[in-house]
Amino acid sequence: MAKKGATRDRALARANEPPLIKRAEFVTSVFDPAHLPEATLAEVAFAGRSNVGKSSLLNRLLGRHNLVKVSSRPGFTQGLNFFLVNDSIYFVDMPGYGFAKAPKSVIKKWQRLAEHYLEQRQTLKGVVCILDIRRRPDRLDLGMLEYLRAIGRKAWVVLNKADKVSQPKIKARLNEICPLLPDGCRQPFIISARTGKGVQGLLETIMNELDAGD
């Protein structure tokens, strides 16, 4: 009973805390590295396969239903979309990798833009890598994580769509997925962009690590 009471007290305390994100607004879409915003604020990028729920997760984190455009069409996000958070941080929605309904020349242009941004952007503090908890990470997912490790970028791994998996199966999915992740990957966050499960914990981690300068 005491344990339940302590859990309830923590939940009430968190409910009474001021929101971590008080203001969020779309700033710009970038299709050429030369047009990136001035590098003065910390940035957190969001990457994942097309249709993994990246835009939905961003909307949930930002506390806005339609700030980030959501589409069922793979390849809908075609540039780097910058969202200013609390007038002090940029959240950056990256083009989805993997299957996309776009010409190969366009896809190659996205790839060059993404590589330049991930490798050269000095104010980029880390990348939220979004996977589907229902599926084994494939070569593209694992390749992205290995790439980020190779270039020295911090990665927060998110397993999205947890609402599609029963609670007893979540541990089994973790046991299958975690050994496949590259060395150095921290414990993934279990998230549902649809219901909000785990989103607050992810947001708190990101904000705390940015504040600490990790």
Taking residues 84-104, report their average pLDDT.
80
- In this structure, is residue 203 part of a structural domain? yes
- In this structure, is residue 14 part of a structural domain? no
**Full residue range of the structural domain in which residue 186 is found:** 23-212
- In this structure, is residue 57 part of a structural domain? yes
Query: What's the number of domains the chain is made of?
Result: 1
| Residue 27 φ/ψ region, left for φ over 0, alpha for ψ in the -120 to 50 degree band, beta for the rest | alpha
pTM for this entry: 0.85
Question: DSSP states of 163-186 as a string?
Answer: GGS-HHHHHHHHHHHGGGSPTTPP
Q: Given this model, what pLDDT does residue 136 score?
A: 94
Pairing of strands 80-85, 24-30: antiparallel
- In this structure, is residue 5 part of a structural domain? no
- In this structure, is residue 1 part of a structural domain? no
- In this structure, is residue 13 part of a structural domain? no
Residue 95 has pLDDT above 80, yes or no: yes
Comparing 207 with 109, which gets the higher pLDDT? 207
- In this structure, is residue 48 part of a structural domain? yes
pLDDT in tens, 113-158: 999 999 999 999 999 999 999 999 999 999 999 999 999 999 999 9
Q: What is the CATH number of the domain that holds 199?
A: 3.40.50.300
pLDDT in tens, 60-82: 998 876 676 554 444 445 789 99
* Whole-number Å distance between alpha carbons of 93 and 193: 15
